[in-house]
Homo-oligomer: A and B are copies of this chain.
Amino acid sequence: MLELAILGLLEDQELHGYEIRKRLRDELGVFSNVSFGSLYPALSRLERSGALEAVEETDRPAAPPVPMTGSLSGERAAMRAARTTSTRGRRGRKVYRITEEGRRQFTVLLDSDPGPDDARSFGLRLAFARYLPPQARLRLLERRRAQLAERLSETRAAARDAESRLDPYARSLVEHTTESTEQDISWLDRLIEAERARVPAAPASTRATGPAGAELTVSTVVREGEIR
């Protein structure tokens, strides 16, 4: 999940760790305040797996790759020079760039079914939906809709059973959750409709017409970024 988010951010531009954290918080809303304790190890993993390549930033933006020399003193000197000469001396920040392999991994991650989907992973995928081919985009939306619909009907069945012994607080909670889910579903319906209009040549897949049209009143929307 975190790796998906990182790769997605780096699709657009190269960034260093600290900045990635900011974007995750402000841009994506998801992962409000990822901790460095999980961010930096994730970056290392991605680098080891060949999805990212890191460049010690020397001076100006878009500096030449500067392959690691192994000569520490040399690199220190370069850094010091950069510091004195230019815009603003920065500590050696590690700027990450996505590789072809990384792009491939991103596509795979983005399009894979996360099983019992939670809101966060859906929110994240939707935020990167522009990188998905139209049919995959539609599949993402429909999958989510189906899950919410199923949840909603289960919740309703359970609520019918337990309603009598529910106190006002629990009841209000259940009702509010149900309403929210319903709104999430109708939001998804709008997105799905818009998406179908954009791709009228939709190869009427069995999945799309089957369970999706069955019932209309399901829900539980995005609500990622809840953890803070």
A residues in contact (CB < 8 Å) with B? 25-27, 29, 32, 116-120, 123, 126-130, 147, 151, 155, 158, 161-162, 166-167, 169-170, 172-174, 176-177, 179-180, 183-184, 187, 191, 220-228
Tell me how far the C-beta of A129 lies from the nearest C-beta in chain B, rounded to whole angstroms.
4
Q: Is the CB of A130 within 8 A of B27?
A: no
Instruction: Return chain B residues, CB-CB under 8 Å to A25.
Output: 158
Instruction: Return chain B residues, CB-CB under 8 Å to A223.
Output: 119, 177, 180, 220-221, 223, 226
Integer count of this chain's copies in the complex: 2
If the complex has contacts A176-B221, A180-B222, are A169 and B127 also in contact, measured as CB distance less than 8 A? Answer: yes
Q: Is the CB of A180 within 8 A of B183?
A: yes
Interface majority SS (helix, strand, loop, mixed), chain A = helix
Q: Is the CB of A26 within 8 A of B158?
A: yes
Instruction: Return chain B residues, CB-CB under 8 Å to A161.
Output: 26
A183 to B228, CA, bound (A): 19
Chain B's closest residue to A141 (CB) is B169
Tell me how far the C-beta of A111 lies from the nearest C-beta in chain B, rounded to whole angstroms.
15
Instruction: Return chain B residues, CB-CB under 8 Å to A227.
Output: 116, 118
Tell me how far the C-beta of A78 lies from the nearest C-beta in chain B, rounded to whole angstroms.
31
